[in-house]
Amino acid sequence: MKLSLNTATVKRATLAEAARLCAENGVDGIGPWRDVVAAAGGARAARELLDGYGLTVTSLCRGGFVTTGSPESIEDNRRAVDEAAELGTAELVLVVGGLPERSRDLPGARANVARALELLVPYARQRGVRLAIEPLHPMFCADRAVVSTLGQALDLAEPFAPDEVGVVVDTYHVWWDPELFPQVARAAGRISAYQVCDWVVPLPADMLLGRGHVGDGHIAFAPITAAVAAAGYTGYVEVEIFNQEIWDTDPALTVRTMVDRHRVHIAAS
């Protein structure tokens, strides 16, 4: 599997800097975030920039946050679809959103996700974009994503064709799941992205930022990577790490570390 840099890993780099670091380090995929694309002058300008470096856009992060059921949330996701299409990627990552303010209605929030997919799929299909549901670790259920397992994401995807709704396999979010391997097999044809980072303990105060470089924590990457490949996934491995210490590091060093770790823990496995 080829390597892709998710721009969240080098948070303080501009898109141009991230693209240059990819090119210099033999990384030929990049997964940008929408704010980085906007800062680079929008999707069209970003695509020209990335094309100049010969980079493949492996996904766009991120749409989602549809659990309130508001028309605004749907509208924002239509814009995200447009941006993905302009960037030339077929994969729009969706982080579906947590419980609305003060809400305890988890089934209601989950139903809103299903409804949002119904509303968004026809629009996305016309533009050649797949909606990629990303299950987030259950510790984010209240405030970030009411979709917590790969099985649940696949249940939501099932009413749609495999090229309409996919799923993201992110090691950090799913490594603990006793159903992981059967669900990865079930995801055949629907894996939109394979994202990696490691689970380090103890988690820091801000648990969103507790992710480590591949190899620094408790996740066994070889069996997960093998399962993703066995499910027919031929795309890139996208490295997405949220970690303040890594963000404070020179992005050039971070990209070199990422390439090293990929060689040892993913490519060799």
Interface residue list for a copy of itself (CB under 8 A): 99, 103-106, 110, 137-139, 141-143, 148-149, 151-152, 155, 175-179, 199, 201-203, 205, 207, 217-220
Positive/negative CA dihedral, 215, 220, 226, 231? negative
Which CB sits closer to a copy of itself, 199 or 236? Answer: 199
* CA–CA separation, 104 and 164 (whole Å): 30
φ, ψ at 252 (rounded to 5°):
-65, -40
Q: Which amino acid is at 9?
A: T
The CB-of-206 to a copy of itself minimum distance in angstroms stands at 8
Which CB sits closer to a copy of itself, 151 or 166? Answer: 151
Contact criterion met (CB below 8 Å) for 93 and 192: yes
Which CB sits closer to a copy of itself, 19 or 180? Answer: 180
φ, ψ at 134 (rounded to 5°):
-105, 110
Which CB sits closer to a copy of itself, 137 or 261? Answer: 137
The CB-of-217 to a copy of itself minimum distance in angstroms stands at 8
Q: Which amino acid is at 128?
A: G
Element (H, E) at 248: none
The CB-of-99 to a copy of itself minimum distance in angstroms stands at 5
Which CB sits closer to a copy of itself, 45 or 141? Answer: 141
The CB-of-21 to a copy of itself minimum distance in angstroms stands at 29
Classify residue 269 as exposed, middle or buried by CB count within 10 Å of its CB (0-12, 13-18, 19+): middle
The CB-of-129 to a copy of itself minimum distance in angstroms stands at 26
The string of DSSP letters for 113-147 reads: HHHHHHHHHHHHHHTT-EEEE-PPPGGGTTTTBS-
C-alpha radius of gyration, the chain, whole number = 17
Q: Which amino acid is at 48?
A: E
Which CB sits closer to a copy of itself, 18 or 154? Answer: 154
The CB-of-210 to a copy of itself minimum distance in angstroms stands at 9
User: In the 8-state DSSP scheme, what is residue 208?
Assistant: G
Contact criterion met (CB below 8 Å) for 37 and 83: yes
The CB-of-98 to a copy of itself minimum distance in angstroms stands at 8
Which CB sits closer to a copy of itself, 45 or 200? Answer: 200
Which CB sits closer to a copy of itself, 43 or 136? Answer: 136
Q: Are strands 56-57 and 60-64 parallel, antiparallel or unpaired?
A: unpaired
The CB-of-168 to a copy of itself minimum distance in angstroms stands at 17
